[in-house]
Amino acid sequence: SLKVNDLTILEVSANTLEKVGQDVIEGLTKTPKSLPAKYFYDQRGSEIFEAICQLPEYYPTRTEALILCQYAEEIAQITGTCELIELGSGSSTKTRLLLDAYQAQKKFCKYVPIDVSETILKESAIQLQKDYPALYIQELVGTYEQALAQFTPTIWPARMIFFLGSSLGNFNPSQCDYLLNQITGVLEPGDYFLLGIDLQKPQDILEAAYNDSQGVTAAFNLNMLSHLNWRFGANFDTHFFTHEAIYNQEKSQIEMYLTCQSSQIVHLENLDLTVTFKTGESMLTEISRKFDLELMEKDLELKGLKTIKIFTDPQNWFGLILCRK
């Protein structure tokens, strides 16, 4: 670990993403092509995602914030002083609602934000430290899998892992199983898990949220190619690709694609890879699953996580599940 601006920063692994280009190779060499959604989040991607969260069509962020606003106090009361581990903390904006509740109840906590995007993680931690001087913050740069593998039993009275924004929805069922098992493994009996999930709702509302009128989601999707360009020395021409997002009813998931509008040969120098795109060829860049609260409750129970309380908004658009191991 190293000291930067009085914050202890633990680098899970330096240049983590540079080493894992293998997943890009796998995704681009299979048919149909796909890319892992984690490549959205370079610095620019994280900034665009923050802008998505403010969009009128993108209801998840404000709906979850509303739920947290209403129930953070209750959550802090239930868990008491604890070590708070956040998966995919980004700007930690919604986290403040929880931190405020713990602070108001004089329950002093340790906060461990985890994110692949180092810049946003560090900047947010510096800002948080200013606003919550009594909070002990220790950021972890890395993927969830790498970061979760670092934890040993906590010396704090309890531990709560929280995973907000329905980011779990960006993983397919077998990846979800793996992640939930890993989360359970980091918790001791009596520890907590708080999960925010986006719920099923009419298709038009879902599709509008991923096809916003200002084109911010399109820019987010296309930025993945710019990210691959600088990270892997690739030469994707973003002008030839367009954003598409459709709701797959059968799988209850939004699917985001980048579609190639005219045939392309793309070279990714650092990966020693050349890929051909046909006109009209689509590449899956993200799934965003929309969940059913009862099914999720059962799934969590199978993983050894017992639901204590479910919090939702009046429209039942988004759900927060608090469970205990």
| CB closer to ligand AVI, 285 vs 307 | 285
| Least distance between ligand AVI and beta carbon 32 (Å) | 19
Span 241-270, contacts to ligand AVI by CB under 6 A = none
Contact pick of 217, 253, 282, 307 for ligand AVI (by CB under 6 A): 217
Q: Is 196 a binder of ligand AVI (CB under 6 A)?
A: no
Assess 282 for contact with ligand AVI (CB under 6 A).
Answer: no
- 224 vs 268, which CB is nearer to ligand AVI? 224
Q: Is 167 in the site for ligand AVI (CB under 6 A)?
A: yes
- Total residues at interface with ligand AVI (CB under 6 A): 12
Q: How far is the CB of 221 from ligand AVI (least distance, A)?
A: 7
User: Counting contacts by CB under 6 A, is residue 210 touching ligand AVI?
Assistant: yes
Candidate residues 170, 223, 282, 307; the one interacting with ligand AVI per rule CB under 6 A? 170
Query: Within 124-143, which residues bind ligand AVI (CB under 6 A)?
Result: none
Q: Show the CA angle centred on residue 113, arms to residues 99 and 41, nearest 5°.
A: 125
Task: Give min distance, CB of 286 to ligand AVI, in A.
Answer: 6
Where on the chain is the footprint of ligand AVI (CB under 6 A)? 52, 60, 165-167, 169-170, 210, 217, 220, 286, 288
